Amino acid sequence: MVASLYGAAQESKSIWVYLEVDRGGLTGVSKELITKGRQICDQLGWQLSGLLLGHHLQPFAAEGFAHGIDTLWLADDPRLENFTIEAYTTVAYDALMEVKPSVLLMGATPNSRDLAGRLAVRLRTGLNADCTDLYLDPETERLVCEVSGFGGGVLAFIEMAEHRPQMATVRPGVFTPGEVDRDRVGVIIEIEVNLDPEILTTNLVERSVGEQVDLTSVPVLVTGGRGVDGDFKMLAQLAELLGGEIGATRPPVDEGHIERERQIGQTGVVCSPKVAICCGISGAFHFVVGIEKADVVVAINSDPEALIFDYADYCIVGDVHQIVPALIEALTVEREVILG
Ligand SMILES: Cc1cc2nc3c(=O)[nH]c(=O)nc-3n(C[C@H](O)[C@H](O)[C@H](O)COP(=O)(O)OP(=O)(O)OC[C@H]3O[C@@H](n4cnc5c(N)ncnc54)[C@H](O)[C@@H]3O)c2cc1C
């Protein structure tokens, strides 16, 4: 097996979290990973660092400290204003090789997934992708990553004996962000950005940001499966009345009935709403991992044997095209009564 560029004997006892900024703040998954990293560091007396790359990002340092990091490694440079894989890999690699942290945690977002793969190859270390949980074994000081395989039929616990950093990506919503302490302070260390212009082969022509909705933290999630026959307008009406958002299983996404950002499940978003209403969904494992953290699950399915009913607190057997309009009507009447 190829040795990594540094091993367990050279590591510094610290956890690094790769931070991303979006819509004027740290992303939800960045905060979730800081919370997880903080718990582990407190247990072992380790340092928790954030790695932040971009331009004009100094204001986000306070947010990182408030959520729990001790040190922010900051690369602030106009050439990092937009994510380009060559520049980000080079700068992150240089910073990691300077400190040699034991662990690097990253969100399983499109850019971070891209970066994680490149970094793992360059550092010659392993990458546990899409972990569903992780902890650090205090005896061995190894990161143990829980990863599901074979369509969810197998749960594997993976650890690295010698390769460093121990890298893992985790999808948004898997962990819960912790308490915020606005009085917490930390140290900012500026990273020197050395970029050879020859390696910067990506040219940003246009930046287009699609409709963005953070489904990880909505209070009510109305999800539709193949059984709704693409009628997401009906589900959107119900979601609006309940102050929620709509999501979907993979088939309606693949068929183009709804945007991919709204796919729930193993290869989509993991949510923890107060209420998840599942309409015309069979209850495949790949979908269920996306809603199993909901406080209450309501399922509507015409098949009384549907697997989704095993996960539901309220089971409605019937045609979704009759039940959802009836719910909409009842909620509309109730709202009119309340509003007078
Ligand atoms: C590696 C991998 C990753 C995957 N990742 C995901 C993922 O992230 N998210 C995801 O969702 N899937 C994912 N899938 C696909 C997943 O395995 C299932 O195929 C998918 O979730 C099924 O979607 P569904 O329940 O909408 O469709 P179906 O399984 O076809 O179920 C449709 C349901 O609708 C009911 N129904 C039909 N008509 C009506 C009606 N009129 N009223 C009420 N009920 C009705 C039926 O009884 C049935 O139970 C993944 C698969 C693989 C292999």
What are the pLDDT digits (tens) for 176-192? 899 999 999 999 999 99
pLDDT in tens, 30-83: 999 999 999 999 999 999 999 999 999 988 999 999 999 999 999 999 999 999
Strand partners, 144: 135
- Mean pLDDT over 259-279 rounds to 92
pLDDT tens digit sequence for 70-128: 999 999 999 999 999 999 999 999 999 999 999 999 999 889 999 999 999 999 999 99
Mutate to test the pocket of ligand 1, among 277, 282, 288, 308 (most ligand atoms within 8 A of CB): 282
- Strand-pairing partners, residue 143, are 136
DSSP bridge partners of 14: 47
Task: Give residue limits of the domains in the chain.
Answer: 6-199, 215-339
**Bridge-based pairing state of the strands 6-7 and 163-164:** antiparallel
Closest to 302 measured CA to CA, from 279, 323, 319: 319
Q: Tell me: pLDDT of 335 over 90.
A: no
User: What's the whole-model pTM score?
Assistant: 0.78
Residue with tokens 């499940």: 265
Joined tokens for residue 22: 């979006």
- Summarised one tens digit per residue, pLDDT across range 283-320 is 999 999 999 999 999 999 999 999 999 999 999 999 99
Instruction: With beta carbons less than 8 A apart as the criterion, state whether 210 and 258 touch.
Output: no
Q: Candidates 249, 302, 311, 320: which one to mutate for ligand 1, based on the most atoms within 8 Å of Cβ?
A: 249
Is the bond leading into 273 cis (omega within 30 degrees of zero)?
no
Pair of tokens at residue 180? 């915020």
Q: Cβ(287)–Cβ(263) under 8 Å? A: no
Burial of 130 (0-12, 13-18, 19+ CB in 10 A): middle
CATH number for the domain formed by residue range(s) 6-199: 3.40.50.620
Tell me the average pLDDT across 272-288: 96
286: left (phi over 0), alpha (psi -120 to 50) or beta: alpha
**The CATH number, out of the four listed (3.40.50.1220, 3.20.20.70, 3.30.420.40, 3.30.930.10), of the domain defined by the range 215-339:** 3.40.50.1220
Reply yes or no on whether the pLDDT at 337 is more than 80: no
- Per-residue confidence at 216, pLDDT binned at 50, 70, 90? confident
Domains 6-199 and 215-339 fall in the same CATH topology: yes
Ligand 1 centre distance from Cα of residue 249 (Å): 6
280 Cα: distance to centroid of ligand 1 (angstroms): 8
Measure the CA dihedral 31/32/36/42, to 10°. Answer: 30
Could you count the other beta carbons within 10 Å of the beta carbon of residue 2? 7
C-alpha 320/C-alpha 306 separation (Å) is 14
| Element housing 221 (H / E) | strand 220-224
Instruction: For residue 110, say if its preceding peptide bond is cis, omega within 30 degrees of 0.
Output: no
Structure tokens given for 185 = 């302070």
Q: What residue ranges line ligand 1, CB within 6 angstroms?
A: 151, 225-227, 249-251, 263-268, 280-282, 284, 286-287, 300-303, 306, 319-321
| Residues 129 and 107: beta-carbon distance below 8 Å | no
Type of residue at 190: E
